[in-house]
Structure formats: structure tokens, C-alpha cells
Amino acid sequence: MAGAGAGAEAAGRCLVIGLGNPDRGDDGLGRAVARALLGGRLPPGIEVVEAEGEATALLARLEGAAAAFLVDACVSGAPAGTIRRFDLGVSAQAPDAAPVSSHGLGLAEAVGLGRTLGLLPPRCILYAVEGACFEAGAPLTPAVAAAVDEVAERLRAELR
């Protein structure tokens, strides 16, 4: 299958959404990846945004997109910095690795609601990175900070 970037202009919008709160330690992972992507070259037609991750705002952003790549921190019990990729268009439910939410409905709930309402894009991929510290005011832990560039590179390759 061709990367999302190749058909993004012809097939509709392609989004990369970095989720999280940069003031809560590893919860800032998704937004750090978004900033890393914005600092490099991307194919035409790719929109990169940072978002807190509130469910209804996320679903509104996804509306009308042909493809979406979500990046968020998660807690699954794996070692900190572990990178996991989930195809949310294939899976019948949200992944077991629960993305972290410090506000209302989280990503898993947003994905479930979006699936029920038919709002998920035809191609919807989640990159989840295992976090370790989500305390207010904490920076990214070293293992999660090391994963930022790796996730950005994987996304660049997938978006070609």
C-alpha cells in the first residue's frame, strides 16, 4: 500500500495529531513529536497539529479527513519509551494500551465514540509510547524523550 503522503492530496486531508499536555511529563510526548515533524520536511498535503486530546475537539478535527495519524503517551505496563503502532481502522476496539488523559474523555473513548458515529477516517493510525511520569511540571523522561525522534522518523516514512 502506498504511504498516506502519496495519495493525500487526491484522497483528501491527511492529519498528524500530536496529543497531550506538555506540562505533565510524558503526557507531552505527542506534541513533542508534532513539533519534531514540523521542524523537518513533509510531503505536500500533510497537516500537523498539536492538541490537548479532549474527545469532542479531536473528533471535530478528524471530520472529513481521509487519513489520520495520532500520537499519544500510554500506560500499558511496558518499559518506558516502548513504541507501539495500532491500526484503529482495523481494530474493533481501542488498544489495550490506555492513552493517558488528564481531562474528561480520553483518546480510547474518543476513538470508540468516533467509530460508533462513523467519524473515524478510513485510515486511522495510533502511535502510542509508554510513559512513566505524568506529574505536573515534570519534563519528558529520558526514555520517552529518546522515542520522540524515532516516532517522527517512522511517521515520515509512513507519510511518503
Instruction: Give pLDDT, residue 147.
Output: 98
Question: Residue 90's domain is classified under what CATH number?
Answer: 3.40.50.1450
**How far apart (Å, rounded) are the C-alpha atoms in residues 2 and 157?**
11
Instruction: Give pLDDT, residue 101.
Output: 53
Better-scored residue on pLDDT, 106 or 36: 36
In a domain, 1, yes or no: no
In a domain, 82, yes or no: yes
**Hey, what's the torsion of the CAs at 24, 30, 32, 38, to 10 degrees?**
-150
In a domain, 123, yes or no: yes
- Residue 94, pLDDT > 80, answer no
Better-scored residue on pLDDT, 136 or 10: 136
pTM of the entire structure? 0.86
In a domain, 2, yes or no: no
Overall number of domains in the chain: 1
Q: Of the ranges 6-10, 50-54, 105-109, 143-147, which one carries the lowest mean pLDDT score? A: 6-10
In a domain, 21, yes or no: yes
pLDDT tens digit sequence for 146-158? 999 999 999 999 9
In a domain, 83, yes or no: yes
- Domain with 42, as residue range(s), is 12-159
In a domain, 6, yes or no: no
